[in-house]
Amino acid sequence: MAAVDIVQAYVAALPGETRRLGHAEWGLTLPEASAGGHALDMSLRIEQELLRAQAFALPAQEGVEPWLLLHWNRQTRIVRLACTRSGDIWVHGDLPVAAVDEKTVDRLLGLVVEGAIAVRSYAASASSASSA
């Protein structure tokens, strides 16, 4: 089965809001309860022999140290954290298309969500510490 068909079947079976944006591109929205208190918008795209996932984890805010993300990236698997010039934080992950099956898609999305929740928890702790 082609990777596009595997991802389509996986995404179609997910609960919640999902959408097919193109032949090899999908959007997902996880509800607040599943994503650390705020809805999490994610995208999946197959291009250049990779299945790529990304999620907007956190807008720029005071008290969040983007340099910490470099240290966190040393400890992650498959996914990594990134910071835009404006300070927004994103979680990205890639898998080779040849490795795509239902289990690896689930793992990739789970790790992206886990990364976003970790960033959001860190930001909440930093905010609490600075207001205390």
- Residue 42 is part of a domain; what is its CATH number? 3.30.1460.10
The count of residues in the chain is 132
- Residue 48: per-residue pLDDT: 96
pTM of this structure: 0.91
Question: Which residue reads 């795209």 in tokens?
Answer: 45
- Identify the pLDDT of residue 38: 86
> How many domains is the chain partitioned into structurally?
1
What per-residue confidence (pLDDT) applies to 58? 92
81: closest CA among 101, 63, 65, 100?
Answer: 65
- pLDDT mean for each 10 residues of the chain (132 residues): 96 93 96 84 97 96 84 92 94 97 97 94 80 60
Phi, psi (deg, nearest 5) at residue 92? -125, 150
Domain that holds residue 74: 3-131
pLDDT at 65: 82
pLDDT at 98: 97
pLDDT at 73: 92
Residue 125's pLDDT is: 85
| Beta strand extents in the chain (DSSP E only) | 17-22, 25-30, 40-47, 50-58, 79-83, 89-96
